[in-house]
Structure 1
Amino acid sequence: MDYSYSEHKQCYVALDCIIFGFDRKDLKLLLIKRNFEPRKGDWSLMGGFLESDESLDEAASRILSSLTGLKDIYLEQLKGFGKVDRDPVARTISVAYYALINLNDHDKNLLPEFGAKWFPIDELPNLIFDHEEMVSLAKARLRHKASNQPVGFELLPDTFTLPELQQLYEAIYETSLDKRNFRRRILSMNVLEKTDKKQKKYSKKGAYLYKFDEDKYSEQKNKNGGTKMMFKPPKV
């Protein structure tokens, strides 16, 4: 027996990527200037349409790689957005993903090609359609993940100082944190490895560089029978 879906109207499936980066000071979001109507010239998330021969994850990775030149980065599906009138051109369902990248790793030469620019997370321009809602949900998800899993380290270089790590968490939660309490909490998790190198960019004495130890994290996780809270998030 032949089956057909021809009696059902078709709709488009889009992918939108919320791309977070960290420059050792500010949490930033990568946006592109839309070069076609509607809303030509306005700022938008990086997006594209699902091809018939790829999965949602594959499509999101393709779109992300085309803009940053990166592969195998932290990428997580956020939510589907399907309001009937969300796109004025055609009935379009968008599946949003968020990604975390180290700003020093991506191919900066690709950005002008797409009219792309990094914006501090607290200085975003107006965005098209429902993209502001997507960003808001992605920020909430990142904050939750950062308190329970070591996702924040995806935003850092391989080695970093404790002040840089604290600055990252302060950027994620958009609030200042007590230095002693933060260090005590992070070091007590036993997932950082202290190196014998120092960063002397900001002082003669310098600060020791650390790196995230994935094996230690896996060991702690298995020993605790699940994910242990990495960091107690502040109320924001």
Structure 2
Amino acid sequence: MPNNHIPGSLNTHNALHLQENVIKALSIDNLIFGLDNDELKILLVKQTDPLHQGKWALPGGWIRYDENLRDAAYRLLEELTGIRDLFLEQLKTFGRVDRFPSERVVTIAYYALVSADKFSLVAGQSAADVSWQSVNKLPELVYDHAEIVAHGLKVLRHQVCHQPIGFNLLPEKFTLLQLQALYEAILNTKLDKPNFRRKIMKMNLLSPCNEKQQGVPHRAASLYRFDAEAYKHLSESGFAFEI
């Protein structure tokens, strides 16, 4: 496994010259948001180099001359965390002049929203640890990574309010309470139960399963599934999803 250090974790005097096949002024940072027991978290790696030992950072690193940007993002994510087989979307390029000391480094951020429990984490050789951390209780992050996370959160919360991407985190059959808890976790706010349910049902995007929960200690709730085909047809006719 190549030793690809993370921008923001490098000894800037020596580490920029560790590999001759990387673009030393261009890097990748990955924001992987994970829903974990109704709490929104983000994937972070702990640094090993003496300059930033013990500090946390977004998983990322240098781009090779012979690879595409997205390929670099996938490679670095897997090398540092063990995570693979997810879709990464490009977020934004961060290029503030002083974001990296002594050198000019521009970073391209990618992001994804996943169910945290679907992935096994394995810290790569240039990471002391890898873990899911609550977005509401972030540890100190290196360089401008806190700024990158803040921007990513803003984009994510806007996106889940205007696209039904949150449904991908639910089981195939879910209750309205589970759906509300998902949105409350991502948006970090309490939603009014009657208003939320009325708005969701009015969209006609949920199909009743004609089933109820099994083996629950409380009154069993009705189960629904997201109708992707209905959403497709509605979108083509100008429908606007909005929470």
TM bucket normalised to smaller: 0.7 to 0.9
- Which residue, out of 181, 200, 210, partners 1:186? 200
1:96-149 deviation per Cα after TM superposition (whole angstroms, max 9, x unaligned): 1111111232124x2587411111221111111000111111111011111111
Q: Secondary structure at the match of 1:151?
A: helix
Counting only pairs closer than 5 Å after superposition, residues 1-236 of structure 1 correspond to structure 2 as 11-66=24-79, 67-73=81-87, 75-88=88-101, 90-108=103-121, 110-111=122-123, 114=127, 115-200=129-214, 202-224=216-238, 228-231=240-243
**Long gaps (5+) in structure 1:** 1-9, 232-236
* Cα shift at 1:37: 4.2
Letter in 2 for 1:166: Q
Question: Is the deviation greater in 30-39 or in 204-213?
Answer: 204-213
Question: Is the deviation greater in 119-128 or in 197-206?
Answer: 197-206
Q: Indicate conservation of the 8 Å contact 1:29/1:119, yes or no.
A: yes
Letter in 2 for 1:228: A
- In 1: Cα distance, 2:161 partner to 2:113 partner: 15
Tell me the TM-score normalised to structure 2 length. 0.81
- In 1: Cα distance, 2:166 partner to 2:240 partner: 15
- In 1: Cα distance, 2:215 partner to 2:94 partner: 44
- In 1: Cα distance, 2:183 partner to 2:32 partner: 17
1:14-57 deviation per Cα after TM superposition (whole angstroms, max 9, x unaligned): 11111111124111111111112431210111112112222222
Partner in structure 2 of residue 5 of structure 1:
none
1:46-83 deviation per Cα after TM superposition (whole angstroms, max 9, x unaligned): 1121122222222222233442433143x221111112
- What is the number of residues matched between the two proteins? 218
- In 2: Cα distance, 1:173 partner to 1:204 partner: 26
Letter in 2 for 1:70: R
Aligned CA-pair RMSD: 2.2
Tell me the TM-score normalised to structure 1 length. 0.83
- In 1: Cα distance, 2:106 partner to 2:134 partner: 28
Pair 1:70–1:161, CA change in 2 (3 A)? farther
* Cα shift at 1:161: 2.1
- In 2: Cα distance, 1:38 partner to 1:200 partner: 53
**Long gaps (5+) in structure 2:** 1-22
Question: Is the deviation greater in 131-140 or in 34-43?
Answer: 34-43
- In 2: Cα distance, 1:60 partner to 1:44 partner: 15
- In 2: Cα distance, 1:68 partner to 1:219 partner: 37
* Cα shift at 1:213: 2.2
- In 2: Cα distance, 1:89 partner to 1:153 partner: 44
Partner in structure 1 of residue 7 of structure 2:
none
Q: Indicate conservation of the 8 Å contact 1:20/1:101, yes or no.
A: yes
- In 1: Cα distance, 2:86 partner to 2:204 partner: 26
- In 2: Cα distance, 1:122 partner to 1:131 partner: 15
Q: Indicate conservation of the 8 Å contact 1:86/1:129, yes or no.
A: yes
